[in-house]
Structure 1
């Protein structure tokens, strides 16, 4: 009996691969601060996670949050800058699993089953949020989780 050799980039649970561009753009966000945010989309036909949109460094959090679709799941990364009570400039990289209640059940299942595998590809995530509506990832939540 022959076994198919699966490459290291596919998720055994969901069969979703991670496009190299996802890791490349994340490294640019993390190391060079080229982007403020990245929104990732699972392309079901190609069975892989791809970069849907990048936000430039001047992008506000509100602009980023507004760019997530109201009725479709996405993964997103946001580089949040803040000043501590000790007046130190800091930054936290947030991973947001966006899964609105209005998304299709199949989509929610694919995103949920691929999330951990995808997160492992992005080395340097500091805070994770799961959000089903905008209030679960508003600025108050971001501020409280960044500290």
Structure 2
């Protein structure tokens, strides 16, 4: 637990499914309504077979709320070919009350025991932050 927020068990379970079973391409997590725990955002998930997963992911970013996101990024290297890497993203909306922003900005990852699997966490403050496109994503 960091900054007074617990991580629900289903968050770690879903992370393990993404990492080891490749069940989802993108998973969204959010702060519960009572602001006491990080939970799975069941309404926003992108499956591996989703057409254009990157555009789908960007469209799911909330305009008026914050989310934690795990994105299983696919890329190709010259040395060893196709690769995937989990990227943790903290998406914070600056229009939210300061108390909520401090709560959300506190944990560097909602999965501290799994943090070694993540690439450095990009932070997004609006959909405009994601107006880029990388080939192979």
TM-score, normalised via structure 1 length: 0.77
* Aligned partners of 1:29 and 1:35 also within 8 Å: yes
Following TM superposition, where does structure 1 have runs of at least 4 consecutive aligned residues deviating by more than 6 angstroms?
A: none
Q: Between Structure 1 and Structure 2, how many residues are aligned?
A: 131
Supply the distance in 2 between the matched residues of 1:139 and 1:33 (Cα, whole angstroms): 25
Residue 94, structure 1, aligned to residue 83, structure 2: no
Alpha-carbon distance change, 138 to 79 in structure 1, aligned in 2, over 3 angstroms: farther
Q: What CA distance in whole angstroms lies between the structure 2 residues aligned with 1:79 and 1:139?
A: 17
Secondary structure at 2:72's aligned position in 1? strand
Q: Which has the larger radius of gyration?
A: 1
CA RMSD of aligned residues (A): 2.3
> 1:83: Cα distance to partner?
1.8
User: Secondary structure, in 3 states, of the residue corresponding to 1:107?
Assistant: helix
Give the structure 1 partner of residue 64 of structure 2.
71
Equivalent runs, 1:1-147 vs 2, <5 Å: 10-11=1-2, 14-45=3-34, 47-53=36-42, 54-59=45-50, 60-86=53-79, 88-113=81-106, 115-116=107-108, 118-123=110-115, 124-140=117-133, 143=134
Structure 1: gaps spanning 5 or more residues: 1-9
Rate the CA distance shift 1:73–1:118 in 2: closer, same or farther, 3 A: same
Query: Could you list the runs of 5+ residues in structure 2 that have no partner in the other structure?
Result: none
Name the one with the larger helix percent: 1
With CA pairs under 8 Å and 6+ residues apart, which has the higher RCO, 1 or 2? Answer: 2
1:44 Cα offset (Å): 4.4
